[in-house]
Homo-oligomer: A and B are copies of this chain.
Amino acid sequence: MSSKDTKSRILDQAERLFAEHGFRNTSLRTLTERAKVNLAAVNYHFNSKEGLLQAVLARRLQPLNQRRQQRIDQVLAEAHLKQEKPSVRDLVSAFVIPTLEFGASSRGAGHFLRLIGRTWNEPDEKVRSAVFEQIGPLISNFAAALGMALPQLPENILRLRLMFLLSSLGYIMSSGNSSPLLQDTGTEHPDQQLTTREFMKFILAGLEAPL
């Protein structure tokens, strides 16, 4: 089907360019040129540039969120079975591991994570709301599960610590193998495995810090 080819060529290039230069800084003309597609195709298939953004997000976020939710539910179910609190480590793993594995699964997915990682601090209201609509419920569920794992933490403090977790995660997602910060310290790419392991240690220590 030629239509589907056009559609996914647009989606692929949009994913890459939105991640690389941001939503606002990517023009439909360079986008369609790179995708080897007519300029009007975007409005034909996605109604508007904003519609294209939502499609880019939905294509990746739907399966990713599903996998994360599954793993969180699984941790909760096992804990309930054993009549214990869910473990903080297992919950964080359930949220973080699928995310980072997903980013490494394909080049496009990596670009996608950069796009998402950016939106915690995104100034553009269109982009913010488009992402939060599709990711908000999952985060709420994750927060509730964490609350069960750390019942001694007051809710406002738990919320702060969750914010610290998410902002650091956002940085990892958006830096994808090349750290924009501290770029002068050598060309060695920190490998994914090490970064993930160190992230878990850092975040678990912070989450479980005494009051």
Contact = CB atoms under 8 A, between A and B. Distances in A.
A128 B163 CA distance: 23
Given A160-B190, A163-B175, A167-B171, 11 more contacts: A20-B123, A121-B170, A136-B184, A140-B182, A156-B194, A163-B179, A164-B168, A166-B171, A202-B206, A202-B209, A204-B209
B140 A162 contact: no
A24 interface: yes
Question: Interface SS of chain A: helix, strand, loop or mixed?
Answer: helix
Interface in A183-211: 184-185, 188, 190, 194-195, 198-199, 201-209
Interface residues of A, number: 53
Contacts of A204: 209
Contacts of A32: none
A3 B201 CA distance: 54
A71 B205 CA distance: 27
Copies of this polypeptide in the complex: 2
A161 B24 contact: no
Contacts of A168: 163-164, 167-168
> Which one of A128, A157, A194 has the greatest number of beta carbons of chain B within 10 Å?
A157
Nearest to A23: B123
A167 B174 CA distance: 11
B143 A163 contact: no
A68 interface: no
Contacts of A29: none
B120 A182 contact: no
Contact of A205 (B24, B128, B185, B209): B209
B139 A162 contact: no
A166 to B, nearest CB: 6
B123 A121 contact: no
A121 B180 CA distance: 8
B157 A198 contact: yes
A118 interface: yes
Nearest to A136: B184
